Each structure stands twice: as structure tokens, then as C-alpha cells.
Copies of this chain bind each other. A is one copy, B any other.
Amino acid sequence: MATRLSDVAARAGVSVKTVSNVINDYPHITAQTRAKVEAAIEALDYTPNVSARSLRKGRSDFIALAIPEMASPYFAELGAAISRAAKKRGITVLIDQTEGEPAAEKLVLDGMRGQLIDGIIFSPITTAPAKIELAANAKPLVLLGERHAGGTLDHVAVDSVQASFDATTHLISIGRRRIAAIGVGGGAGTGAVRRKGYRKALKAAGLPLDPALELAGTGYHREDGAAAMRELLALPDRPDAVFCFNDSLALGALRTLADAGLSVPGDVAVVGFDDIEDGRYHSPSLTTISADKEWLAENAVGLLLDRIAGTGEVDRRDLTVPYTLQIRESTAG
């Protein structure tokens, strides 16, 4: 059933070694031999046995992408982009849903998948930076998402502070004064970094910081955004704008606003972060920070492959994804 290298060799009338040479682009091969071999490969529909090759070579051309959940739009789009970027280079991506569980993240980091994986692109939620550093000794690893101070790992991310600053400043520039933030979090994660940019923008504009306007929430889903928005509407003095730390939150918030019969951006302007497809087609369409996902994917994969191929001498690299503020209906009526 499975065709082996030796089958190909037999059909082409050459030795196994020669076939292997052809496949691995060994330099000294006549065009004629190569043609014969390739014809045989074609005819027999031969595919090298990945297990055997990987066992022998110590490389599988598989990489893992560890994300919290693939059903959430941002990660789905990211996963798709990374898959594509990898496929272009002959690499297969294995997607791992950690669901934000520490156990799952740990599993990914430890010898994960029994040495099958050549490297990992990791978008962590729970795992502490220190732990990640540790695990990275085993496999090449590229980190996505917020920058971890003092890290030694390759890293690709948007400048979230600056982007959040821009988003908030945009709201200020259209005349808003009571600007809320949804998705605020502690530690060094997304929620903290984006808050930093948000606060900076308020300060720069001389606006007061009202703690009641900084909403945490349990997650980054629509329902969390919807719930947070309800809280905001219940305030005695409700905000005239909201900066949501991702688009899903923003879409949830928009839903609550619609239910409340408030107009967007008339009564409340809304800005998101990520530029997921849903936001573009939503009514009103969502103003958001749009990072170049293709760029991100290309570079994350590139970085990882360099690291896999490399001798380990290369310095740590830290790439910043270009972004733009997409102004749409939710702030520009």
C-alpha cells in the first residue's frame, strides 16, 4: 500500500541512494537520471514517509501554533494567515488550542508532541514569561503578543501602547471627553499594556482619569463586551465613547448600545482593536486598530524558521507589526 523509496528506485532502475539524492537535491546528478527518478516518483505517487524522515533527520517541517482558541475570530484569522505563510515554505502548522489553561500551555512547552515539532509560535495567556524562557531551551520559540520585559525570546507584536494611544486620541479628536476602556487587565498582558496607552492619551489631552470608566471583565468575547457596556450605561454619568481592547469586546458593546436604543457614534463612539472581518461588516462598521496580519504571519514564521535552521548564534529579534487606525462608522457617523 505505501510506496517506499526502494519501490521508486526499482522502477527508475537506480539505487535507493540515488533517489534519495534526487529528493534531497544532492548536486551531482545528471539531468537524465533526475528525470527518470522524477518520472518514477510521479508514476508511483510516492510521498516520503514523514515519520521515518523526521526520525532520521531530526527535522519534521512541522511547527506548532499555540493559541488560546481557534474559534475566536482574531485567532482564527491569525491561524489562517500563519498556516498560509508556513505552507508557502513547505511547512505544516499544527494548531494547538490551549484554552488559556495553564496545564495546556505547559504541555505545549514541554517536549510537546514528542519531538515531532521543529518549533513553536506561542501566543500565551496564562504562562508567566519566566516559565516560557525556561521551556524555550528545548525548542525554538517565537512569542506573539504583548512584549515581555527583559525577555530573551524572539518576539513579534504590535506596539500596543502606541496603538492604544492613537485609538484613544482619535476619540478625543472627535470631541469625546468621557472615554471608557473595556478589557483592562493587570499584570503585563494585553489588558495592562493597552490601558497604558489609553491612560497616556487621556493625560496628554489633559482629561481626568475616572476609575469607574475602566472595566475589566472576565474575557475578551462579545458577551464580556456586552456585559461591560451594560455596566457603563448604568453609571450616573455615562461615557460618550468607549475604547475596547479588542474587536469582539467592541461588537458586544455595540450590541448593548443597540439594545439600549443609543446611537453610535451619536451618543457613544466605539473603537476596537484587531480589525476582524466581523467589524468591517457590522452596522455600524467598527473603527479599529488594524495590524497587518499577513506581515505578522510572514515574519513570525520567518523568524522561527531562521531560528530552527540557524546555529543559535543569532541575536534575539523583536519585530513590531505595522498598523493603521481604520476609521469607520462607529466613530465617524
User: Which residues of A are in contact with B by a Cβ distance under 8 Å?
Assistant: 1-3, 45-55, 60, 69-71, 73, 76-77, 79-81, 83-84, 87, 92-95, 97, 110-116, 138, 222-223, 226, 251-252, 254-255, 258-259, 277-278, 280-283
Minimum-distance CB pairs A-B, first 5: A258-B283, A76-B76, A71-B80, A50-B114, A51-B55
A277 cross-chain contacts in B, Cβ below 8 A: 71, 222
- Give min CB distance, A151 to chain B, whole Å: 22
Which of B52, B69, B116, B254 contacts A283, CB < 8 Å?
A: B254
Which of B54, B60, B70 contacts A79, CB < 8 Å?
A: B70
- Give min CB distance, A207 to chain B, whole Å: 30
Measured in the bound complex, the distance between the Cα atoms of B95 and A187 in whole Å is 33
Q: Is the CB of A113 within 8 A of B226?
A: no
Task: Jot down 12 A-B pairs with beta carbons below 8 A, ordered by A.
Answer: A3-B111, A47-B115, A49-B55, A50-B113, A51-B115, A73-B278, A83-B95, A222-B277, A223-B281, A251-B278, A278-B278, A282-B282
Closest to A77 in B: B71
Known interface pairs A83-B97, A283-B254, A283-B259; A2-B115 also in contact (CB < 8 Å): yes
Measured in the bound complex, the distance between the Cα atoms of B51 and A49 in whole Å is 10
With A49-B114, A49-B116 given, name 6 new contacts (CB 8 A): A2-B115, A45-B111, A49-B115, A70-B70, A92-B94, A222-B280
Instruction: Give the interface SS of chain A, mostly helix, strand, loop or mixed.
Output: helix
Measured in the bound complex, the distance between the Cα atoms of B286 and A255 in whole Å is 13
Measured in the bound complex, the distance between the Cα atoms of B54 and A53 in whole Å is 11
A3 cross-chain contacts in B, Cβ below 8 A: 111
Which of B2, B76, B87 contacts A70, CB < 8 Å?
A: B76
Protomer copies: 2
Measured in the bound complex, the distance between the Cα atoms of B107 and A45 in whole Å is 11
Measured in the bound complex, the distance between the Cα atoms of B80 and A316 in whole Å is 33
A45 cross-chain contacts in B, Cβ below 8 A: 110-111
A53 cross-chain contacts in B, Cβ below 8 A: 114
A81 cross-chain contacts in B, Cβ below 8 A: 71
Measured in the bound complex, the distance between the Cα atoms of B222 and A84 in whole Å is 21
Q: Is the CB of B281 within 8 A of A255?
A: yes
Known interface pairs A51-B52, A97-B84, A138-B1; A73-B70 also in contact (CB < 8 Å): no
Measured in the bound complex, the distance between the Cα atoms of B113 and A54 in whole Å is 12
Measured in the bound complex, the distance between the Cα atoms of B1 and A261 in whole Å is 62
A111 cross-chain contacts in B, Cβ below 8 A: 2-3, 45-47
Known interface pairs A255-B282, A255-B283; A114-B80 also in contact (CB < 8 Å): no
Q: Is the CB of A52 within 8 A of B55?
A: yes
A52 cross-chain contacts in B, Cβ below 8 A: 51, 55
- Give min CB distance, A284 to chain B, whole Å: 8
Q: Is the CB of B73 within 8 A of A69?
A: no
Q: Is the CB of B71 within 8 A of A76?
A: yes
Measured in the bound complex, the distance between the Cα atoms of B73 and A55 in whole Å is 37
Which of B79, B97, B223, B281 contacts A252, CB < 8 Å?
A: B281
